[in-house]
Every structure is written in structure tokens, then in C-alpha cells.
Amino acid sequence: MKMSSAASKIITALFVLMAFCGGMALGAEQRQAAVVFKFATQAPKGMGYANAFKDIFMPAMDQATEKTVFWKVYWGGIMGNDDDYVRKMAIGQLQGGGLTLVGTNMISPEYSVLALPFLFNDYEEVDFVRDRMHDTFDSFFMKKGFKLLMWIDQDFDLIYSTKWKFDSLEDYRRAKLLTWSGPIEEAWMKALGASPIVLGIVESPSAIRSGIADSNITTGIWQVGTQVFTTSKYVSTMKIRYTPASMVLTKKAWESIPEHYRDRITATRARTLDRFNTASRKEAKAYYDSMIKYGVTPVTPSSEVRAEIRRRCISVWPRFTGKLFPKSLLDEIMDNLESYRKGGKGRVKKEVVEAPPVKPVETAAVEKKAAPAEKPVAAAPIKAQPSPASPKPEAKAQPSPFTPKPEAAFTVTKETIRAVQEKLAAMGLYTKKIDGISGPGTRKAVRAYQGRKRMPRTGAIDAELLKSLGVK
């Protein structure tokens, strides 16, 4: 059937109108931006990381790049799982992603070392190591064709359950415990006697609601965002492992940003990270508190049970050392942790940062939206008592023995790193390319120099090192 001339004109006009409206939908910022990055994440819009991304990360990027980069963000997993993001980045359909540990490990298996059970005791230790080793992990990403924009926190994940208190090893054996974070998580679960159920993160909420699984380890933000917390009775307060996440770009996308803007992003990264993580940690606590108020009961295992869980979990470390990550990488982390725990040189912050306030309406909405007919009364933490003897209270993590120094505009630029490399090369300590990039070779040379000078062997390019080397 032949289309009439009038109908043809109408359809053409509609297409023109759609194209025009589509252009308007891009917004003035996107039309004026020199570069547009398509960025995907499983974070639900309006919660946790999404808020920090919008309120902290994007303004920081706008300032560093003078608004020449526009971020088109696909929230809430609408582009699939992490593996979909990595695949789409590889073929150019996406330029970046906010990845969980699963997706990050697909790019750089070395990153999985950070999620070893009982590696970190608290966020102060995480921050200390991150300050000194962000560039080390970035170098692994760059070799794979990606840029680690920011090593961010997922959380110290907790175990939630519809049935079990996880105050004994018997509960691990009886539970239908979900895992989606990879082989290390699966291994320590098995070491505790569990038979973990391996599923993707997107499929997990329905598995819990249908009874295929009755327990999972995750963040409070995920538990609330998926509404799975409404089925939970217990949460174990034992922090078995810290879980990192990441914001990444493809190397091609990163290098499409003019170099002077890239230098600005790098120079301000530590300050942006401090603000981002402070905000996401504050919001994570708010969601956890809302679940406890809703009626999820926190349970703390006895000191004897905690000690046995720790012993079994740490026993899996050697299984992955030299396979997923090099031993030298774990050694560097442990050296930094040893320095911190012995009272070594503390963190140096760009500035004292405050997190944006958590909107009360969000946590209130959680309670209102999912309130049960008969709301259970929140119980005080349950202490398991396997023997008549009173268990010793768990030793509290020691506060940082150092007072963070407000850093007087101290930044490490490529020129500074290059000057350090030249000094160390003249001493025979640095034999790699002098390129202004602080990779593993640079950090190794710095540690060697620090050892000579009886300084803390952190591998970090800081004010003390620059003064010792005579670099201004």
C-alpha cells in the first residue's frame, strides 16, 4: 500500500519533532560539553552512593574539567549486572561504571585482595592503606585498559538472615547462604561449614523472598534498597570483611579528557574521596539504624565463636595469594597496616570534610513503606553464651594514635612524582621509566629509600619524603 504525500509529510514532521525534543532532553549541559560519558551502576537513584555521586563526585568533576565532561548515568541496574557493564565498556557502548567488587574483580583480580576476610579492622585502616596504595591499584587497571577513578567503599558487609542468628558455627552449616562476590567469599563461607548458593546480585532478592535462600551478606543500603530487609529477622554484627567498590573509566575515555584536566582530577581525588566516603558511610549507618528500628535484631557472637570464625576465615588467604593477586601486593598492604597499628605516620587529609546531611525523609520512608501489621520490638543485641563462663568482651578497635594534620594545600603532581623518580634513579634505587606516574616500581623505590633513612616504609610520596629528598 502506497503512503499518501500528506501522511508522509506528517510522519517526517513527527520524526523531526522527536529529534528536536530528544536534543532538548539532553539538556544544555550535555549539548555544551566537549565529552559525554555513558556511565552505568546498580546503585538505585536517590539512595546511598547515587546521592554521593550526584552531590559530591559530579560537582568535583565539573570543577576539575570546567564542565567539559557530561555524565549520562544509568541508575539501578537498568543496563544489567556488573559483567554487562564491563562487556559494554570493552566494546565502547559505555565509557564508565560504578562497580561492585564483582565487576571490579573482572577488570583487575588484584583488587580482590582488599576483600580478604579480617584484613581490615576498621575504616581508619582502610583509609590509611588507600591513601598510600590507590595509585598501585590504578596501575593494575591501566594495564587492563581501564582507569581507576576512585576506590570507594561498599561497606563492612554484615550477614542478614530470615532464620539464623549466626552466633554459632552450626548456623553456618544450616543456613542457605547466598554468595555473589566471587571465589574468596565462597571459600571462607565453606571454611565456616556453609554450602553457599551462588547467584547473581540481580537475582538474589527474589531468591530470598521465595525461600531459595534464607541468608545473605551485604550492605545495609542494598538490603534496604531492594526491600529484602522486610524478610530479615537477624543481622550478625560481626564484620567479617571489608568490601571495596570502584568508579572506573575506560582508558580511552580517560585519555579523551585533556591532560591538564586529568591532572586536576588526580590532584583533587583524595579530597573528593574523603567527602564521598564520609557521605556514603553516614548514609549506610542511617539505613542500618532504620532496619534495627524496624525490628531486625542485631546478634553478636561470643568471643570464642568470633575467634574460631576468624581463624577459619584467615586460613583461606594462602589459597588465593599468587593466583588472584601477587604476594608482593599483600605484603605491601600488610606493611602499611603494621606501620599504622604500631603508631606509624598517620593519614594526611586535604581538609576536614563534612558529609551532606542524610535526608530524614529517606529513612522515614523505609519504615512507613514496609511497616508490618504488627511491628516487632527491636531487641537489644543478643550475646551467645555457649558456656557458664562469662565471655570476655570483644576488644574495641583502638582509635587512631595520630591527630590528622590539616594539609596545607599539599598535592602530589606528575611533576613532583617525576622529580622524586629522578632523585631515586640517581641513587640507583629507581630503574623504571621516569614518567611522573606513581606505580609499583616507584613505591618500591620510595620504600627502599625510606628504609635507608629509617623512615616509616610506607611507599607514599608525602611531605616528609619530599623534604628528605630536597624536592620542592
150-207 pLDDT per residue, tens: 999 999 999 999 999 999 999 999 999 999 999 999 999 999 999 999 988 878 999 9
Distance CA 141, CA 104 (A): 9
**Residues in the chain, overall count:** 472
Domain layout of the chain by residue ranges? 32-155+243-372, 412-469
Q: Which of 346, 392, 355, 444 is nearest to 52 (CA)?
A: 355
Query: What is the predicted pLDDT for the residue at 168?
Result: 97
Query: What is the predicted pLDDT for the residue at 198?
Result: 92
Going from the C-alpha of 106 to that of each of 213, 241, 258, 318, 431, the distances in angstroms are 25, 19, 28, 21, 31
**What is the SS3 assignment for the chain?**
CCCCHHHHHHHHHHHHHHHHHHHHHHHHHHHHCCEEEEEEECCCCCCCHHHHHHHHHHHHHHHHHCCCEEEEEECCCCCCCHHHHHHHHHCCCCCEEEECHHHHHHHCHHHHHHHCCCCCCCHHHHHHHHHHHHHHHHHHHHHCCEEEEEEEEEEEEEEEECCCCCCCHHHHHHCCEEECCCHHHHHHHHHCCCCCEECCCCCHHHHHHHCCCCEEEECHHHHHHCCHHHHCCEEEEEEEEEEEEEEEEEHHHHHCCCHHHHHHHHHHHHHHHHHHHHHHHHHHHHHHHHHHHHCCEEEECCHHHHHHHHHHHHCCHHHHECCCECHHHHHHHHHHHHHHHCCCCCCEECCCCCCCCCCHHHHHHHHHHHCCCCCCCCCCCEECCCCCCCCCCCCCCCCCCCCCEECCCCCCCHHHHHHHHHHHHHCCCCCCCCCCCCCHHHHHHHHHHHHHCCCCCCCCCCHHHHHHHCCC
Query: What is the predicted pLDDT for the residue at 408?
Result: 38
**Phi, psi at 365, each rounded to 5°:** -65, -35
pTM of the model: 0.70
Q: Residue type at 305?
A: V
Mutual angle of helices 58-65 and 259-294, in 10-degree steps: 170
Query: What is the predicted pLDDT for the residue at 13?
Result: 41
Distance CA 343, CA 358 (A): 33
Question: What residue ranges of the chain have pLDDT lower than 50?
Answer: 1-5, 7-31, 347-410
Q: Determine the longest span between alpha carbons in the chain, in angstroms.
A: 92
Which homologous superfamily does the CATH classification assign to the domain defined by 32-155+243-372?
Bacterial extracellular solute-binding protein, family 7 (3.40.190.170)
Q: What is the pLDDT of residues 237-275, one digit of tens each?
A: 999 999 999 999 999 999 999 999 999 999 999 999 999
